[in-house]
Structures are given as structure tokens and as C-alpha cells.
Amino acid sequence: MATYQCPDCGYVYDEKVGCEHEGYPAGTQWEDIPEEFPCPDCFVREKPDFEMLEGGK
């Protein structure tokens, strides 16, 4: 399971946790998150801007 971080606000997407509120249940893999996924905290950075913290491919 990998984690990815928003470079602006520091939000961390953890595949184990997912992002239930935005409709991505726990266990949703990063590769299954759409490209236009905005950071669910600041909404100004998108998936391609995120930086891998650990375990990513």
C-alpha cells in the first residue's frame, strides 16, 4: 500500500484509507484514481502534482 502527498497543503492520500468523502473507498489504488483528481483539502493541486511518499510504483 502506497502513500502520496499534495505538495501544497500536505494532504496525504493513503491507499489503505482511500478518500471516502470524495467517493474513493478504502483500498482504492492510486492507479485507479482519475488524473483530474483534485487534492481533497486544497483543491488546487491534482493527481499529477502529487509526490510519492512510500511504496508507490
Partner 1 sequence: MMSSAVTPNPADLMGSGNEQHVTEEERKWAVAKRYWYLITLIVPVLLIFSGVMAIETQSGQWLWLLVTVFFIVIPIVDFICGSDSFNPSEEEQAVLKDDRFYVKILYAATALQWAGLVSMTCVVTQGDFSWFNILGAILSVGAMHAVGLTMSHELGHKMNDKNQVLAAKICSACCGYAHFNIEHNKGHHKDVATPEDPASSRMGESLYQFALRELPGAARRGWNLEASRLNRQKRSVFSIHNELLQSLAVTVVAYGIMTFLFGWMALPFLLISAAYGWFQLTMANYIEHYGLLRQTLENGRFERCQPHHSWNNNFKASNLLTLHLQRHSDHHAHPTRPYQLLRDYQDAPELPHGYPGMMGMALIPPAWRMIMDHRVVEWAGGDMEKVNIDPAQREEIFSKFHNPKLATA
Binding site for partner 1 (CB under 8 A): 8-9, 11, 20-24, 38, 40-45, 49
CB 23, min distance to partner 1, A: 3
Q: All 3 cell numbers of residue 13?
A: 492520500
Cβ 43 to partner 1, closest distance in Å? 5
Question: DSSP of 16-54, one letter per residue?
Answer: TT-BGGGTB-TT--GGGS-TTPBPTTTSSSBGGG-EEEE
Minimum CB–partner distance for residue 1 and partner 1 (Å): 21
**Beta carbon nearer to partner 1, 38 or 56:** 38
